[in-house]
A and B are shown apart, each in its own frame.
Chain A
Amino acid sequence: MAVGVLALQGSFNEHIAALRRLGVKGTEIRKAEQLETINALIIPGGESTTMAKLAEYHNLFPALREFVKMGKPVWGTCAGLIFLADKAVGQKEGGQELVGGLDCLVHRNFFGSQIQSFEADLLVPELVATEGGPASFRGVFIRAPAILEAGTGVEVLADYSVPSRKPTVQPVEEDKEEFLIRYVLYFVSVASTNNFTLMQLYVLNGYWYFTYQRRHSCSFCSNSGKINSEEKVIVAVKQGNLLATAFHPELTADTRWHSYFMKMVNKGEQPFLLMREMFLTMNHQGLISQYFNSSLFLFFFSVYSFCCLERSFMSSEA
């Protein structure tokens, strides 16, 4: 089966090299028509603003959305994760267009700018269960995003503990909003005396998120905080046929994520699953009942015709 790698910009060569190590030929995808020739797609990491602009200019977004909707396996790394997410925050004004499909809230450049890029060992129990190998995976985080919220149908494959950011308070229910508003205003007033500027404030599921800029003597650094007590962010998820990682497996020699994705691709071709899918869709549309009705009709018709034949036979006999 043919696997394509979106070759707008970024580390597509590295993905193709990793696939080659597994014996799979990857095709570079640059045009919308080429999406029809492949069964699976990898959206590589790179400069997500540039990739979004190039995709928009080449009218790739409708074709990509169609591809995702058809249920074909898609894997997004870093910038690819941002593409696949349904909601994204942490962008400059204007934002960027997204393909969507992954029921997650993604924060662009969550870990900070370039200088805060790092490598970390991640525990990936699901990957180890299917692929084997050492219990941890060396994740390369380069201006990486992070998934703040994942929907109910999304399976979390790896998460990462972030060093605690100030301030942290307990999560509050909606009726304690008034208290929280007063807290935030207090924070803002304290902050403005200490050269903080509140940039964005938004609410999601009872958690308040805010981003602020702290001004040092001559540099700006952007930080963001989530007012709750938990300090883990999600960095790898799977939802149906969509796989998304915030780090770059293609920049390491470890090909386990690529073979995990290839297993996802191969699974989609089993006839058993296809039948199950068909059954589910038919049931969902109420076709099952119609099918049964028609078969019952056939059954009674055959019984009736048999009886008729019997009767004519018996009458002819008699």
Chain B
Amino acid sequence: MAEDSVVAVYNTKSITADTKKKNNTFSIKVQLAQMLRGGAIVEVGNSQQAKIAEEAGACAVVVSSEYTQSGISRMPDPLLIKEIKRVVSVPVMAKARVGHFVEAQILEVIGVEYIDESEVLACSDEENYINKHKFRVPFVSGCRGLGEALSRVREGAALIRIQGELSRMGNIVETVRNVRSVMGDIRVLNYMDDDELFAFAKRISAPYDLVAQTKQMGRLPVVLFAAGGIATPADVALMMQLGCDGVFLGSEVFEGSDPCKRVRAIVRAVMHYNDAHVLAETSCGLVDSMERLNLNEDRGQQSGSEGVD
């Protein structure tokens, strides 16, 4: 371990496909992602939304194509990405399908700052994720539990997004469940006997060395964000208080009468997540027209049936 970095990563050189690309090592990618901590990343579909997001204080924007209820959603149009890059000065991310390494190659060449390997889009490879070590650009990957998170980190993800619902209904119950699962497993890991780590790693299907590193650091080796159904300042503060480093906001925040006010309130909540007075102030006047983000009987087939026993 020659490097003097806070994030000590075990032996990535054996996994990197091209050992000549020494410049952008994994630790640099992780450090890049650390600059996004404490911020809100907003999903945008056009340059107007991107400008609103930047004005409101988002620390990055994710470009995704227009949401279609049915059908296959793919990587956004490169022209759209270039237009958004011209318009904003915050980092621009773009979504690629899970396992679709050529979409990732295209996005890297266009010059996006991060690539989001997103399960919100259609899946293109059910078994294999992208080998993110082959790319110079840092990746964001989703997970639902600690095992998945560490597997994505081993593949080369520099930022982990704990994903909740995929259907943009505005329901955070799945997100909270997954965040608690990850944080709970980390807490269990902190008190676990070192000899039991091997069996634990096998049980959660995670690489042993990353499990050991997580235990040593007391937290995940990379930055953790929450995503899925986050709609109000209170939701955001809930995620931050549960232990996340930031949040992703879906493009559903742009619906409603005043998207700028809403995004600004949410960004404020990320900053002051421990201060209930500020949260109360920012929550005023926001519950106006988020109709689409409330459950209807005909549409919400999940949540209602799964109760808490």
Contact = CB atoms under 8 A, between A and B. Distances in A.
A252 B5 CA distance: 4
B32 A47 contact: no
A252 B36 CA distance: 17
- Contact residue range for chain A? 35 or more
Given A46-B37, A53-B55, A117 B32 contact: yes
Contact of B5 (A11, A53, A115, A253): A253
Interface in B132-164: 136-138
B109 A218 contact: yes
B54 A49 contact: yes
A13 B271 contact: no
B94 interface: no
A8 B271 contact: yes
Contact of A118 (B28, B34, B267): B28
Contacts of A91: 89
Contacts of A142: 28, 31-32, 35
A183 to B, nearest CB: 29
A8 B114 CA distance: 22
B57 to A, nearest CB: 4
A253 B6 contact: yes
A138 interface: yes
Contacts of B264: 57
B155 to A, nearest CB: 19
Contacts of B188: none
Interface string B79-94: 0001001001111000
A113 B4 CA distance: 24
B90 A49 contact: yes
B59 A46 contact: yes
Contact of A47 (B90, B111, B268, B275): B90
Pairs A-B, 7 closest by C-beta atoms: A92-B89, A50-B59, A9-B38, A47-B59, A53-B57, A114-B113, A9-B39
Interface of A: 7-14, 17, 30, 45-47, 49-50, 53-54, 57, 91-92, 113-115, 117-119, 138, 140, 142-143, 218-221, 248, 251-254
29 contacts: A8-B271, A9-B37, A10-B35, A13-B37, A13-B38, A30-B272, A30-B275, A46-B36, A46-B59, A47-B91, A49-B90, A50-B39, A53-B55, A53-B57, A91-B89, A92-B89, A113-B113, A114-B32, A114-B114, A117-B24, A118-B28, A119-B3, A140-B31, A218-B109, A219-B109, A221-B111, A248-B31, A252-B5, A252-B6
Interface of B: 3-6, 23-24, 28, 31-32, 34-39, 54-60, 78, 82, 85, 88-91, 109-111, 113-114, 136-138, 264, 267-268, 270-272, 275
